[in-house]
Amino acid sequence: MTLIRVVNPNTTASMTALIGTSARAVAGPGVTVEAVNPDMGPASIESHYDEALAVPGLLAEIIAGERAGADGYVVACFGDPGLDAAREIATGPVVGIAEAAMHAAMLVGRGFSVVTTLGRTAGRARDLAQRYAPAGACRGVHACEIPVLELETDPAVLPRVVALAREALDRDGSDVIVLGCAGMAGFCAEVSQRIGAPVIDGVTAATLLVQSLVGLGLRTSRRDEYAVPPPKPFTGLLAGFAIK
Q: Alpha carbon of 81 to those of 54, 60, 130, 140, 195: distances in Å?
A: 7, 13, 16, 21, 30
To a copy of itself, the closest distance from the beta carbon of 32 in angstroms equals: 15
Smallest gap from Cβ 74 to a copy of itself, in A, equals 12
Q: Are 208 and 23 in contact (CB under 8 A)?
A: no
Least gap, CB of 95 to a copy of itself (angstroms): 6
Per CB under 8 A, which of residues 95..114 are in contact with a copy of itself?
A: 95, 99, 103-104, 106-110
**At closest approach, how far in Å is the CB of 185 from a copy of itself?**
12
Within 166-225, the residues that bind a copy of itself by CB under 8 A are 169, 173-176, 189, 196-198, 200, 204-205, 208-209, 211-213, 215-225
Nearer to a copy of itself, 158 or 198 (CB): 198
Q: Binders of a copy of itself: how many residues, by CB under 8 A?
A: 100
Nearest to a copy of itself of 35, 200 (CB atom): 200
Candidates 13-21, 153-161, 178-186, 231-239: pick the segment binding a copy of itself (CB under 8 A). Answer: 231-239
CB of 156 to a copy of itself, least distance (A): 18
d(CA 202, CA 83): 14
Burial degree of 196 (CB within 10 A; 0-12, 13-18, 19+):
exposed
Query: Minimal CA–CA distance to 108: which of 130, 139, 137?
Result: 137
Cα–Cα distance for residue pair 146/132, rounded to 1 Å: 26
Q: Is 167 exposed, middle or buried (0-12, 13-18, 19+ CB in 10 A)?
A: middle
Residues 116 to 145 in contact with a copy of itself, rule: CB under 8 A: 118-120, 122-124, 126-127, 130-136
Point out which residues pair with 141 in neighbouring strands. 114
Cβ distance to a copy of itself smaller for residue 18 or 121: 121
Beta strands at 176-179 and 138-143: parallel, antiparallel or unpaired: unpaired
- Cβ-Cβ contacts under 8 Å for 160 (sequence gap 6 or more): 144, 146
- 17 or 227: CB nearest a copy of itself: 227
Site for a copy of itself in 7-66 (CB under 8 A): 11, 26, 28-30, 38-44, 46-53, 55-57, 59
- Closest separation in Å from C-beta 176 to a copy of itself: 5
